[in-house]
Every structure is written in structure tokens, then in C-alpha cells.
Structure 1
Amino acid sequence: MRTFFKILLLIIISHPSFSQTAEELNQQSKDLLQKGKYQEALPILRKAAELGNGEAQYNLGYFLQNGIIGDKNPIEAINWYKKSSENNFNDGHYAMMMAYGNGNGIEQNSEKAFAYALKCANNDDPTCIWNVVECYVTGNGVQQDIPKLKEWILRLAKLQNPENLTQSGYISSARLELAHFYKEGKYFEKDLYQSYLWYLIYNEYKIDFSILKQDEIIKEIKELEKSLSKTQIEKAKNDSEKLLGRKLNNLSELYKNSL
């Protein structure tokens, strides 16, 4: 009997599913996924998810939702997305936001969609922050709240622009929206100088917009400058950098298109 337990113990120790951590298994599954070896990756991915790795839980949910191997199973996918979110994995928050927002695999619920959007936004995800801003404006899923709108759009506008074009576009759009809000006195008290500062900040990544839109905004900037003093224009660079919290690098291209 003692010999049997010794053999069993050796088997348990030597078996990868017992000796590897959730993080190691998750990385192994990702390596296989990158090579397109989905069939090999799936059991390892599931084990990592069962051991509590948030990224693996999200990836398993994605497998199940899209039927990458076998039939689609949106209900089980939602369960794994929820576990991923509970582990504060940002894609898990996002998936739950979309599921409740669109009613995919679960009953549509705008309040719960907003709750997950807020979790995602708290991780500084530009897409989710944009959605939170929209909800505070429209009252979709949450009570309309202009002070909260202002808080979140400022937070979004001050983020670093990532390589992801969609997310960068949300950040640049927030900056342009602030320029317009201050110019028109919408949500914020009308302040042409503050509007100008946000135009300068928008200019850093205007490449996120089409050439036609850039041309339109260049005209807006030139027109706005007519209402500002020489002193304001001269100090605007320093003030916009203080507002953003970092240097501006594209001011020499203010009146030019970025391709």
C-alpha cells in the first residue's frame, strides 16, 4: 500500500497539469494559439482558466462564444467572461459590457452594461471611457450626470495615445470635443483660451482624423486665434503642456495636414 502511494505521488508531481501554475499554462496556451494550434491549446487553456488565470478565462470565453473549436456556446462563454472580470482582467470587463449592452448570450441590461463599462474605464481603457462619457451624457444605463461627464472626458483626453488606432482615435476625439465644448460653452463655461489649448493638444495626434476633417479644424483654429491676444497665443504652448502634463511635439505642424 505504501508503495502504491509513492508511485501515485510521483505521477502527480511529474504531470504538467499538476506541476505548472495557471500563469505558466496560460503562457503555454498562448504560444500554441500564436502558432494556430487551437486543438492543442484548448485543454491547456481550459486548465489555466480553471486554475483562475483571468486572461485564460477570457480567451476560453472567446473560444466558446465564437465556436473556434466545435459549436458556439455563448452561455458558457459568458460564465468565463464573468470569472475573468472578477479577476479584474480588462478584456473580461469589456466582454461583459458588450454582452449586456447587446444582449449576446445574456439578457440585455443597460445598467449592468454600464457597471462593467465603468470597471473597464477605471483601467484607463479609452473605448470604455468613451462609452462611460456617452452614458453620462445620454443617461443610458445610469442617471445623466454632467459633472461625471466632465471628469471622465478630461481623464480620457489626457491619456497617452496608444498604437491601437481605434483607442487613439477616442482620445483625440475627446480632445477635439473639449475644444468645441469650451468654444461653444457646452457642458463647460465658455472659454476661448481653454478651447485653444485643447486644439493644440488635439493637434498632437490629428493623424487620427481624415485629411478633410483636419482641414476643417485648421480653419477653426485660425478663426479662433483672431479672438485671442498675442500674449495668449504666445503662452498657449506652456499652458497646454501644463494642462496635458507633458510636452507637445507637433506644434510646428499646427497649420498642416498629418498623413
Structure 2
Amino acid sequence: MNTVRVLVMLAMVLCVSGGESAADPFNEAREAVTSGDYEKAFGMYKVSAEQGNVSGMFYLGVMYDDGIGIQKNYYEAMKWYNKAAELGDHKAMFNIGMMYYIGEWTPQNYAEAMRWFRKSAELGDVKAMFNLGMMNSKVEGVARDYVQAHKWFNIAAAGGDETARKNRDELAKMMTPTQIAQAQKLAAEWNSEGKP
């Protein structure tokens, strides 16, 4: 079990707010995660997901993805991430992007990873913005586009990502003033379009 992902999942669960009652399967799943009963959490997230709860779908995908409370099953993880993504969950979109980026269950496909990161970024996911910057600047198999990389690092930095700011500043040392100006213009246009 990936301890870091379990702790991140626990933190995310504790941050989810809403007016659901304690008898709600999603809330029961959250309580089970808090108490360390991952098998019960899995069962309650499954009920919640099957009832159409988008967050339940996402967390069920995480449990299948990491083998928390159930044996790892990337097919099921992708299925539930896709269901949540279809309903607009940016975290699910990000995780689909990661599955394509890493090549878990599905063949590694950088174009698909970038497509899913872009969808997630459009909904304000700073981690997706950072990954788009990284992919445009360093990933083998992806055409290097320093203007796009700078743009994405700039947007992620504005969202509070300190590493993105550092990467943007390092990348700027390899760019011409014209390229930097173009990247800044693209970032400003992104923000002026009301994108998060």
C-alpha cells in the first residue's frame, strides 16, 4: 500500500465538505477511511459511486488504483475515474492523465496524458498545469515547446505552486525575450478568459 497516497486520500476526505447525513454511504466511507477500515470504506465508496456520487466514483477509482481495501485493479480504476471525469471531476481527469503518462494498465501515451491534464487544468487543477509545463519542457517523446511550458508553469505558479515558479524561472534562462513575452501573453489570455 502506498502510504503517501493513503495519507493524501485521508487528507482529501477530511477536506470534503457537504451537508450529507451520517447515514450517507459517502460519509460512512469517509468515516471508515478516518478510522483505518479500508475494506468498509471501499464498500461504502462503491455504494456511493453506484448511487451517482461523483466524489464516491473518484475515491473508488483511487482505492482500485492503489489497492486500498481491495486488490489493485487498473481496469476498474480507469472505469471509475472515467465515470467521475464525465461528470466534471478534475481530480479524476488528472489521475487518468497520470495513468496514461506512467503507462499503468494502459499503454503509455503522452498525447492522451496531455489531453487529460489539459481538461483537468481547464477546471483549475494546479498539479495538471504543472505537469503540462513539465511535459512541454522535458518529456522525451513530446515536442519541446518552451513557450507552452513557460505558460503552464506561469499559470501554476499563480495558483501557488512554488516549484512551478522555480521551473518557470529556470526555463526563462533558455528562452529569448520574444518567447518569454509570448508565453506571458498566453498565460494572461488564459487568465482573462476566466480560466481558474
State whether TM-score is above 0.5: yes
Report SS of the residue matched to 1:224: coil
- Residue 240 of structure 1 pairs with residue 187 of structure 2: yes
**Partner in structure 2 of residue 208 of structure 1:** 161
**Partner in structure 1 of residue 79 of structure 2:** 115
Distance of 1:190 and 1:153 partners within structure 2: 17
Task: Describe the superposition over 1:64-118 as per-residue Cα deviations: whole angstroms up to 9, x where unpaired.
Answer: 56569xxx5835x544322211222122112312332343443332221222122
| Cα gap change, 1:228 to 1:141, in 2 (>3 Å) | same
| Cα gap change, 1:234 to 1:79, in 2 (>3 Å) | closer
From 198, 203, 220, the counterpart of 2:170: 220
Task: Describe the superposition over 1:209-239 as per-residue Cα deviations: whole angstroms up to 9, x where unpaired.
Answer: 3xxx4673353143034x343xx44454443
From 11, 14, 39, the counterpart of 1:74: 39
Distance of 1:188 and 1:128 partners within structure 2: 23
**CA RMSD, aligned part only?**
3.4
Q: Aligned runs of 1:32-51 on 2, under 5 Å?
A: 45=23
**Partner in structure 2 of residue 166 of structure 1:** none
**Partner in structure 2 of residue 58 of structure 1:** 26
1:203 alignment partner AA: A
Q: Residues 110 and 142 of structure 2 are in contact (CA less than 8 Å); yes or no, is this contact kept in structure 1? A: no
Q: Residues 126 and 156 of structure 2 are in contact (CA less than 8 Å); yes or no, is this contact kept in structure 1? A: yes
Distance of 2:65 and 2:195 partners within structure 1: 37
From 83, 88, 95, the counterpart of 2:52: 88
Q: Residues 58 and 84 of structure 2 are in contact (CA less than 8 Å); yes or no, is this contact kept in structure 1? A: yes
Distance of 1:248 and 1:83 partners within structure 2: 33
CA shift for structure 1 position 141: 2.4
Distance of 1:64 and 1:248 partners within structure 2: 36
TM-score, normalised to structure 1's length? 0.55
Q: Residues 97 and 116 of structure 2 are in contact (CA less than 8 Å); yes or no, is this contact kept in structure 1? A: yes
CA shift for structure 1 position 174: 2.6
**Partner in structure 2 of residue 146 of structure 1:** 110
2:76 alignment partner AA: K
Q: Residues 158 and 244 of structure 1 are in contact (CA less than 8 Å); yes or no, is this contact kept in structure 2? A: no
2:25 alignment partner AA: Q
CA shift for structure 1 position 131: 1.9
Extract unaligned runs of 5+ from structure 1: 1-25, 31-40, 46-55, 161-170, 250-259
TM-score, normalised to structure 2's length? 0.69
From 119, 123, 131, the counterpart of 1:155: 119
**Partner in structure 1 of residue 142 of structure 2:** 188
Q: Aligned runs of 1:4-43 on 2, under 5 Å?
A: 30=21
| Cα gap change, 1:244 to 1:224, in 2 (>3 Å) | farther
2:166 alignment partner AA: E
Q: Residues 241 and 247 of structure 1 are in contact (CA less than 8 Å); yes or no, is this contact kept in structure 2? A: no
**Partner in structure 2 of residue 128 of structure 1:** 92
Extract unaligned runs of 5+ from structure 2: 1-17
Distance of 1:144 and 1:154 partners within structure 2: 17
Identical residues among aligned pairs (%): 20
